[in-house]
Amino acid sequence: MDINPRLKKIIFDKLNSDLEEFIFFPTGRETWIINLDDKSWYFLSDCFGQVYYNSIFFNRFFRLFSLEQNEYQELLKGWFADVTSQNVRIISRRNGNFDYIIEPLLKKNIEWSLFERYGWSYEIVRKYLDMKKNLNKKFICVGDLL
């Protein structure tokens, strides 16, 4: 489905605005975009190019634009790839709450390093580590990636 470029820009701007304070959280072979306040999740990706999105949140988000899941899924794929610089092969929806996974991840915190990339490309890991170092932050927000 072709979406008007102006509508696409409006949607991307709204996504940037709504998700900018949430955390880009890499842990081993996965990266998450989460809200630390309530431990809710928005995206989960792996180093093989599979991305999952929280369909409960995004169904509500895209109602504003009168778009259904089959119409907005490619937009999410493009937005996620643009923001994270990750290669997205497949994007799918997931329902549910992953609090039981997110809380232990935050405590475990399997950190990336240039020597321990867990299947991620050198460029992605380097970008993330440089941002953490230069911004002197414990967590990188989506807004920092924009």
pLDDT of residue 97: 78
pLDDT of residue 140: 95
Q: Residue ranges of the alpha helices (H) in 1-146?
A: 5-19, 55-63, 69-84, 99-108, 122-135, 142-145
Q: Which residues contact 135 (CB under 8 A, 6 or more apart)?
A: 144
Q: Which is more confidently placed, 103 or 121?
A: 121
pLDDT, tens only, 62-115 = 999 999 998 899 999 999 999 999 999 999 999 877 878 888 888 887 889 999
Q: Which amino acid is it at 17?
A: S
Q: Which long-range contacts (CB under 8 A, 24 or more apart) does 71-79 make?
A: 71/1, 71/3, 72/11, 74/1, 75/3, 75/8, 75/11, 75/12, 76/51, 77/51, 79/11, 79/12, 79/15
| Tokens representing residue 28 in the block | 């081993």
pLDDT of residue 129: 95
| Tokens representing residue 29 in the block | 């072979």
pLDDT of residue 1: 61
Reduce the DSSP state of residue 130 to 3 states and report it: helix
pLDDT, tens only, 2-34 = 788 999 999 999 999 999 999 999 999 999 999
Q: Is the full-model pTM beyond 0.85?
A: yes
Share of the chain above pLDDT 70, in %: 99
Please state, in angstroms and rounded to a whole number, the distance separating the CA atoms of residues 110 and 103.
13
| Tokens representing residue 34 in the block | 């989460």
Phi, psi of 116 (to 5 degrees): -120, 85
The domains of the chain are located at 24-145
